Amino acid sequence: MMARAKLGVAGAAAAVLLPVLLPHPFVLTIATQAVIWALLAASWDLLSGYTGQISFGHAGFFALGAYAAAAATKHAGVSPWLGLLLGAAIAAGVGLLTGFPALRLRGHYLALVTLGLAEIIRLVATNWLDLTGGPFGIHDFRSFPGLPAGALAHRQAMYLLVVAIVVGSVAVMYQVCERTSAGKAFRAIREDEVLAETLGVDTTRYKLLAFALSSGFAGLAGGLYAYYVQLVSPVVASAATTSLVIGMAVFGGLGTLWGPVLGALLLYGLYEGLRFVGVVYNLIAVGFVIMVFVIFFPRGLAGFGRSA
């Protein structure tokens, strides 16, 4: 297990270092977004893979973070650094609220309520023109100050910045999930909630914690996305976003954190690479991967070589 994890982390590190060695603008663009998706996938895994609370609405938290950051910077002139924190905080707050009903809902009912919430967020984003700019979204807001001006250098700096934030975040999540009692509680809840309760685990507290952490980091990913792409529209809250995230996590392996990270990097690379070949086939591959992996390779990449 540890060997596999090390291999996976090494793979992720190599993927991340690639653009540093090959500073092509196209590669950097894909890489930056892939790394942001990796953070989103990892955040999803914390809640759904580790704690077993399958969320179908992470697009909503992502969108909250993106919109909060963009709106704050555009309308209130907030600095992007603060904007990131704000986005994460708002997403975490909503996530915490979502956690309360989750205490009583299981399985697909929970998935549906999260899906409903994400859809509500998307509808609000599409229709609340004053706040969100409606279908056209928010644009024309500044990005991180102090980055070099030259086109390529700017991208490189941005990339390194995003990588730093994402690596830091994933490291924090990893610490929590693997090295603290909270992580043990998460896994206990996933395996057998009733048993966990009997053994004295405060499932309420830990479920809410998982929701808050997961949605907070998803919001952070949203903020990063906003400042990088410089445009936030209701599309970010769409089901396609959720679908991609789940696909990445399933592909990489639920409940490992590094699995979804690797899965995100590879799948996004595949997605964009295929787009190069012909726009229409990339999403087909994602759908196909989800189905095949759910049925035949439930442990994802993280499980290869391991006996059931």
Partner 1 sequence: MLESLLEFLIQGLVLGGLYALFAVGLSLIFGVLDVINVAHGEFFAIGGYLAFAAVVLLHLPGAVGVLGAAVGTFLLGLCVYPLLIAPLKRRLGGRPQGPLYLVLTLGLSTFLQSSLLAVAGGDYLRVPPQVSGILDLDVTAVSYQRLLVLGVAAVLLTALFAFLRFHPEGLAVRAVALNPDAAQAMGINLPRIFALTVALGVALAGVGGALMAPLFNVYPAVGFPLTIKAFAITILGGMGNPAGALVASFLVSIAESLSVMVIPSQWQNLIAFAVMVVMLLVRPRGLFGRAVSR
Binding positions for partner 1, 107-166, rule CB under 8 A: 107-113, 115-117, 119-120, 123-124, 126-127
Query: What are the DSSP E strand ranges found in 85-139?
Result: 138-139
Residue among 56 and 258 whose Cβ is closer to partner 1: 56
Binding positions for partner 1, 24-63, rule CB under 8 A: 48, 54, 56
The nearest distance, CB 30 to partner 1, in angstroms, is 19
The nearest distance, CB 267 to partner 1, in angstroms, is 12
How far apart are the C-alpha atoms of 106 and 83, rounded to whole Å? Answer: 34
284 makes contact with partner 1 (CB under 8 A) = yes
Q: Is 242 helix (H, G, I), strand (E, B) or coil?
A: helix
How far apart are the C-alpha atoms of 216 and 48, rounded to whole Å? Answer: 14
Residue among 7 and 235 whose Cβ is closer to partner 1: 235
Give buried/exposed letters for 173-193 (b at 16+ CB in 10 A, else e).
bbebbeeeebbebbbbbbeeb
How far apart are the C-alpha atoms of 1 and 5, rounded to whole Å? Answer: 6
Q: Is 139 helix (H, G, I), strand (E, B) or coil?
A: strand
Which of 105, 147, 167, 270 lies at the binding interface for partner 1 (CB under 8 A)? Answer: 105
94 makes contact with partner 1 (CB under 8 A) = no
The nearest distance, CB 136 to partner 1, in angstroms, is 14
306 makes contact with partner 1 (CB under 8 A) = no
Decide: 41 and 170 in contact? Cβ < 8 Å. Answer: no
266 makes contact with partner 1 (CB under 8 A) = no
Cβ of 146: how many Cβ atoms within 10 Å?
6
288 makes contact with partner 1 (CB under 8 A) = yes
Provide the CB-side half-sphere exposure for 189 (13 A, CA): 31
Residues in the chain: 308
Binding positions for partner 1, 201-260, rule CB under 8 A: 239-240, 242-243, 246-247, 250
Residue at 173: amino acid letter: M
195 makes contact with partner 1 (CB under 8 A) = no
Decide: 47 and 41 in contact? Cβ < 8 Å. Answer: no
In the complex, which residues of this chain contact partner 1 (CB under 8 A)? 48, 54, 56, 101, 104-113, 115-117, 119-120, 123-124, 126-127, 239-240, 242-243, 246-247, 250, 280-284, 286-291, 294-296, 298
